[in-house]
Amino acid sequence: MSPAVVELASGVDALYLSGRAALPGGLLVRLKMGREAAERDNISVQCDFGGEVFEFLPHAFGKYRYCLRHRNGQLGISPSEKIPAFRIQPRAEFLHGVGPSSAVAWFADVIESEVGALRLSVSRADLFADVQGWSLCGDDRSRFLCRADKLDTHESGEVFNGLSFGRRASQTMTARIYDKTIESKERGTDYWPDIWGAAYDPILPVLRIEFEFLRSALRQFGLDAPADVLDATGALWASATDWLSYRIPTDDLTHSRWPIAPEWQTIQRASIREDAAGLERVYRGKTAGSLRRMLPQLNGWVVSYAALIGSADIEETCSKLAKTLKNYAFQSERSFKNRVTTRQREMS
């Protein structure tokens, strides 16, 4: 008997915003100078924006000439009157760490301290549910009923890794169902087991069901402001799990009359709650994942270095490596500390 489908987590996984405001002349001057400084050496430079330290990047953010990066997310700013002045993209770690409402409030406070009155709109919202106890394969694609015509099967080698429905070019709604444990391992987002909690079984895969609502879809629901979108996540989820459904095949040639499968009934009842996992815990998990992904390559380089210098001892190898790095810093006229600081800013 297959295990029952269990919800591990659900909520908002992405929330992209645009903001309309008047840009003060002094801010425009600072932005111009910041972009020029970043372009001069083609590296990011630190800048103050709204009382927070951002990194000014030497390139645009899509249609936005000025791109500022913070560990909480990325900010695009444009002096053009043809588009909203701000494009705001919180990082997923920030959303899950503090919760979407607090993430929106943080960006609003930072921007308003620079420009005053600000009107935010949601340009994209992704809702998700992570479950265990539901196993899918490529042959199950025929059991899905979707109002969108496009359906793609995703595989890694010969391993089935999910399905996607709809076209992003439609500017309405798309859906993905995929193995979150595979994706989390590849991306180094090792904080997810903490979010999944005691119900998580590390032996079983975690299946993610994710719906992406783009601006046109949100406007069809009469939703624009972040608070309205977040208040309506339950209704959006109900609509999405009706737009896409998983059925029990029968002899009826009309697939819309096939009964909804018990697994999908559990998906339809997902809580879509606005939890905050704790920002530092999320970032600790992200750091652990990055180190895990880096370790095989790091070990390979150090082993190769040890082989070149004739050392088979870790302590001796690391001692000699420290001297080699100090000599390189002297020859290159750039200190190890300076390189680390630059990399930390790039990885912030």
209-235 pLDDT, tens digit each: 999 999 999 999 999 999 999 999 999
Amino acid at 113: S
What is the Cα 178 distance to its own chain's centre? Answer: 15
Whether residues 113 and 155 share a domain: the answer is: no
Q: Is the Cβ–Cβ distance between 217 and 236 less than 8 Å?
A: no
What average pLDDT does the segment 60-89 reach? Answer: 96
Top pLDDT among 40 and 309 is at 40
Residue 295 domain boundaries: 279-347
Residue 106 and residue 94 share a domain: yes
Quote the pLDDT of residue 282.
45
What are the start-end ranges of the H helices in the chain? Answer: 25-41, 92-98, 100-115, 180-187, 192-196, 215-220, 226-231, 233-243, 262-268, 279-309, 314-332, 336-347
Exposure class string for 68-85: b at 16+ Cβ within 10 A, else e: bbbbbbbbbbbeeeeebb
Same domain, 87 and 201: no
159/304 same-domain check: no
**Terminal-residue alpha carbon distance, the chain:** 47
Instruction: Looking at the structure, tell me whether residues 202 and 323 fall in a common domain.
Output: no
Q: What is the CA radius of gyration of the chain?
A: 24
Phi and psi at 281, nearest 5°, equal: -65, -40
Distance of CA 242 to the CA centre of its chain: 25
Same domain? For 268 and 138 the reply is yes
Q: Are residues 216 and 300 in the same domain?
A: no
Burial 9-47 (b: 16+ CB within 10 A, else e): bbbbbbbbbbbebebeeebeebbeebbebbeeeeebbeb
Number of domains in the chain: 3
Mean pLDDT taken over the chain: 87
Query: With bands split at pLDDT 50, 70 and 90, how would you rate the model's confidence at 345?
Result: low
Residues 116 and 21 sit within 8 Å (Cβ to Cβ): yes
Q: What pLDDT is recorded for position 291?
A: 62
Based on the fold, state whether residues 62 and 101 are members of the same structural domain. yes
Q: In this model, does residue 286 exceed pLDDT 60? A: no
Q: Is the pLDDT of residue 116 over 50?
A: yes
Percent of the chain with pLDDT over 90: 60
Residues 258-281 have pLDDT tens digits of 999 999 999 999 988 766 554 454
pLDDT on residue 346: 61
- Co-location of 156 and 294 in the same domain: no
pLDDT exceeding 70 applies to what percent of the chain? 90
Residue ending a domain, among 59, 83, 117, is: 117
Identify whether residues 291 and 235 lie together within a single domain. Answer: no
Tell me the whole-structure pTM to 2 decimals.
Answer: 0.80
Confidence of residue 344 (pLDDT cuts 50, 70, 90): low
Q: Is the model's pLDDT at 304 over the cut of 60?
A: yes
Query: Whole-angstrom Cα distance, residue 221 to residue 185?
Result: 35
User: What pLDDT score does 281 carry?
Assistant: 47
Smallest CA-to-CA distance from 213 within 164, 268, 175, 165 is with 175
- Single-letter amino acid, residue 189: T
Mark whether 272 and 284 lie in a shared domain.
no
Residue that terminates a domain, selected from 276, 292, 314: 276
Check whether 160 has a pLDDT greater than 90: no
Range with lowest mean pLDDT among 109-118, 136-145, 239-248: 136-145
Last residue of a domain, which of 276, 294, 320? 276
In this structure, the answer to whether residues 190 and 302 fall within a common structural domain is no
